[in-house]
Amino acid sequence: MELIDGNKIAAEIAAELKIEVSAIAGRKPCIALLRVGDDVASISYVRKKEKTAAEIGLESRIILPPVTISQAELFALIDQLNNDPGVDGILVQSPLPKHIDEVAVFRRVSPAKDVDGFNTLNLGKVAQEDETGFVACTPAGIMELLARSGVDLKGKHVVVLGRSLIVGKPVALLALQKKAGANGTVTICHSATANLPAMTRQADVLIAAIGRAEFVTADMVKPGAVVIDVGINRVVDASKKSGYRLTGDVHFVSVAPLCAKITPVPGGVGPMTVAMLMKNTLKAYRLQACG
């Protein structure tokens, strides 16, 4: 079993980006990070994005509207950023409060600044294999992780567990694309899939993105499979100082010995999401600078 080291691969990408950014004379690329309210996980994700941006030499603007902000007010804030020539990329951290329509917010972000890749146009471009758009960061990070770990999806059965807009659907489309490294045969499973273990056992590459702690157990995995664990779940653990520990959607201890390769949590897909966000921000800057 080989552990896929997301921290190491993300650091390689960050180092590559840092060189590119250092060559930019004048205004550096800038990302606006919008976090509504005080969701505990979102606080740490946005902090990590801010920190990584600084390490690479990107500017960031942190905007923290209160949880009570109305949808109309949030739209106005996004419009302001859409029209601000000093801002290249805009990210609205998910989840948003219940009274706000998240998809409507993602649509409000200008496609040219949509470094999260959740806007309708950019999701459509993934389906059309049009590389002028932005690919959502976690799916893009998974593809990069596979490519840099020497996993070619051509001829492989890729089973995606989860159909979210943020991970499941776009990663399935990427794995399906007709390009080097992709060309997978893709199955998407979800909460209404019958006989799930029989489906996941067919996977040469299993991508678990269902948001349920340690859901994937050894009986659900084919020996020799590559397992990508996208979940980041907080489970209560009295033995930890914080009172909780982070765990993935895969029951790592029992599944890992079966696998050819597997990503850990933390330190697998998570850092790649941040690295791809930085890459998208540089892309947005270049697209805007070039008109």
Known catalytic residues? 49, 93, 116
Task: Tell me: cis bond preceding 95? Omega within 30 of 0 counts.
Answer: yes
* Of residues 24 and 165, the one with the C-beta less far from ligand GUN: 165
- Structure tokens of 70? 């109305």
Residues found near ligand GUN in the complex (CB under 6 A): 91-94, 116, 137-138, 166, 273
Whether 231 contacts 249, CB under 8 Å: yes
Whether 171 contacts 142, CB under 8 Å: yes
* Of residues 256 and 284, the one with the C-beta less far from ligand GUN: 284
**In the bound complex, what is the minimum distance in angstroms from residue 180's beta carbon to ligand GUN?**
25
Q: How far apart are CA 100 and CA 141, in angstroms?
A: 27
* Of residues 248 and 259, the one with the C-beta less far from ligand GUN: 248
**In the bound complex, what is the minimum distance in angstroms from residue 84's beta carbon to ligand GUN?**
19
Compute, in degrees rounded to 10, the torsion defined by CA atoms 11, 16, 19, 20: -130
**In the bound complex, what is the minimum distance in angstroms from residue 42's beta carbon to ligand GUN?**
7
Q: Which residue is nearest to ligand GUN, using beta carbons?
A: 94
* Of residues 82 and 273, the one with the C-beta less far from ligand GUN: 273
Q: How far apart are CA 97 and CA 122, in angstroms?
A: 24
**In the bound complex, what is the minimum distance in angstroms from residue 204's beta carbon to ligand GUN?**
26
Would you call 83 exposed, middle or buried from its count of C-beta atoms within 10 A (0-12, 13-18, 19+)?
exposed
